[in-house]
Amino acid sequence: MTLLSHEPGAEVLADRCARLAALTVEPTLSAAEAAAAALSIVVEHLAGHASASVSRPRGWRWLTGAATDGPAADADALQRTCEQGPSRDAVASGLPVVSTDVAADTRWPRWGPAVARTGVRAVLSHPLPGGDGERGCLAVYLDRPDGSGRLLRETAAVAAAAALAFVALEYRHTGDHLRKAVESNRQIGTAIGILMARRGWTEAQAFDELRLASQHANRKLRDLADWVTFTGDLPRRLPTDGGVAALGIATRRSLH
């Protein structure tokens, strides 16, 4: 299979951007599945000669959140080990970084030769939008030099669209977590109120008893809160894990 010899037309590019946008609102995909699908769209025109990843600094660490395959994750790992590389530079500057031949690129004297030995020969690193301390990076690694830079130019537009898609996915993922946290806190607060009224406990006492029951049953606090909301009291004999979970699901359904 050979690399494409022409730049993708406007219709092809528009189709890829539309599919990337659709991923951000697709309810059947998990965050990990949507990220993997987005990376596949980014490199699909390179006919198996490229891999891609999304990575992000976390304190002193540099973590790969998603990757199309092992070579991309390995190239990211070498940037951690060598403490230099295009993705680190892209995050620091907020600008895309391109290298058409990493083995000959003097900007990364440790990373370039090391990653070239793994089969990576060219790279495009595109920063994700965000603050300096929060910004991640989308990297596309080619398995051959790109002397003219044509292949990386072809990839740049869809990479920019994918960077926006990843930010949208992160906001959706964060929103889902916040929504679940709010629902959980509301349920726990309801259970505490019930115990205060039934047992005459203070708020602190009710919370402590609920927490202890959760620990003894080896279940999440929210599950015991569901039990209290449904039955009006803590269980006299702690139910099995399955019983608590099943009751919690039934309770939550009854509240919607």
Together in a domain, 137 and 200: no
Question: What is the extent of the structural domain holding 222?
Answer: 176-254
- What CATH number should be reported for the domain holding residue 108? 3.30.450.40
Comparing 35-39, 57-61, 134-138, 143-147, the range with the smallest average pLDDT is: 57-61
Task: Decide if 115 is inside a domain.
Answer: yes
Mean predicted lDDT score pLDDT of the chain? 81
pLDDT attached to residue 132? 46
| pLDDT tens readout for residues 108-136 | 999 999 999 999 999 999 998 765 456 78
**φ and ψ at 218, to 5 degrees?**
55, 45
Q: How far is CA 23 from CA 16, 51, 137, 199, in A?
A: 11, 19, 19, 49
| pLDDT tens readout for residues 81-111 | 999 999 999 999 989 999 999 999 999 999 9
Domain boundary among the residues 172, 201, 229 is at 172
Burial of 246 (0-12, 13-18, 19+ CB in 10 A): middle
Together in a domain, 196 and 116: no
**pTM for the complete prediction?**
0.64
Average pLDDT over residues 199-206: 84
Contacts of 203 (CB under 8 A, 6+ apart): 192, 196
Locate 85 and state its tokens.
């590389």
Comparing 149-163, 173-187, 213-227, the range with the smallest average pLDDT is: 173-187
Comparing 20-29, 36-45, 56-65, 172-181, the range with the smallest average pLDDT is: 172-181
Together in a domain, 61 and 158: yes
Long-range contact set of residues 144-148: C-beta below 8 Å, sequence gap at least 24: 144/49, 145/100, 145/101, 145/103, 145/121, 146/100, 146/101, 146/121, 146/122, 147/100, 147/101, 148/100
pLDDT attached to residue 192? 83
Task: Decide if 84 is inside a domain.
Answer: yes
Task: Decide if 56 is inside a domain.
Answer: yes
CA-CA-CA-CA torsion sign (21, 25, 29, 35): positive
Together in a domain, 167 and 208: no
Whether 212 shows a pLDDT value over 70: the answer reads yes
Comparing 41-45, 166-170, 226-230, the range with the smallest average pLDDT is: 166-170
Together in a domain, 71 and 144: yes
Together in a domain, 195 and 161: no
Q: What is the largest CA-CA distance in the chain?
A: 77
Burial of 18 (0-12, 13-18, 19+ CB in 10 A): exposed
Together in a domain, 148 and 193: no
Whether 75 shows a pLDDT value over 70: the answer reads yes
Task: Decide if 4 is inside a domain.
Answer: no
Whether 79 shows a pLDDT value over 60: the answer reads yes
140: nearest Cα among 71, 61, 65, 56: 71
